[in-house]
Amino acid sequence: MKRVALYLRVSSVDQHPETQLLDLQQMVSQRGYDIVKQYTDRASGAKARRPGLEELMADARRGKFDVVLVWACDRIARSTRHFLEILDEFNRLNIEFVSFRESIDTSGPLGRAIVVIIGAIAELERNLIIERVRAGMRRAKLEGRQIGRRPLELDHAAIRSDRGQGQSIRQIAKCRRISTATVQRVLRGQPVQELDRPA
């Protein structure tokens, strides 16, 4: 019986890994695998550092399982290069990679060839999405629409006056509905940043 590790990733707190888990458990049952551990990340696939993935790779190097099972190829890697690096390491460690959605199994040469093609398509799709977003932002800018938050409009003289009249930084911030960091920057004559807005 082959020892299998499940890797699940969802990109936001609104998504549930249980949706992926049901399909993977069914595949495990059909193939007669033995689940040794489940690794889960709630993060964008583009993020380089993911605790669940890092733990999975560390355990792979320790020989804790024979197969890695994922719901889809894009769940595990942030780019084609990253994907191929992971697959190459699994190959060197004699660990099979199986993807439920794409029906890929790297235990054979055909599976390994398909993985390279699927990885390239996934990266192309992601790049097309990024380009569409950028094109939309460029169009909005040309049309004169505001992109992102409007800059803070502050009365620097009034803030300094409030401070001169003995008000605390916290009081000024609360009264003017800005952060204490913003008040401090105004008093020091430093530029105000977007992150200085109150939560």
pLDDT (0 to 100) of residue 12: 67
pLDDT (0 to 100) of residue 105: 86
15 or 139, which is more confident: 139
DSSP 30-68: HHT-EEEEEEEEES-TT-S--HHHHHHHHHHHTT--SEE
**Residue ranges of domains in the chain:** 3-125, 156-196
User: Coil, strand or helix: which one is 196?
Assistant: helix
Q: What sign for the dihedral angle of Cα 39, 43, 46, 50?
A: negative
List, in order, residues 6 or more apart from 90 with CB less than 8 Å away: 60, 68, 96, 97, 106
pLDDT tens string 11-38:
765 567 788 899 999 999 999 999 999 9
Of 75, 65, 59, nearest in space to 19 by CA: 75
pLDDT band at 46 (very low <50, low <70, confident <90, very high): low
For 3-125, the fitting CATH number among 3.50.50.60, 3.90.650.10, 3.40.50.1390, 3.40.50.12280 is: 3.40.50.1390
Contact at 8 Å (CB) between 54 and 30? no
Of 66, 63, 20, nearest in space to 40 by CA: 20
Contact at 8 Å (CB) between 33 and 62? no
pLDDT (0 to 100) of residue 199: 45
User: Mean pLDDT across the chain, nearest whole number?
Assistant: 83
Question: Which residue among 11, 79, 99, 179 is the active-site one?
Answer: 11
pLDDT (0 to 100) of residue 150: 61
Q: Is the pLDDT of residue 92 over 90?
A: no
pLDDT (0 to 100) of residue 78: 72
pLDDT tens string 142-164:
888 766 666 667 788 888 888 88
Contact at 8 Å (CB) between 179 and 173? yes
pLDDT band at 174 (very low <50, low <70, confident <90, very high): confident
DSSP 95-152: -EEEETTTTEETTSHHHHHHHHHHHHHHHHHHHHHHHHHHHHHHHHHHTT---SSPPP
Contact at 8 Å (CB) between 66 and 3? yes
pTM metric for this prediction: 0.56
29 is catalytic: no
pLDDT (0 to 100) of residue 194: 47
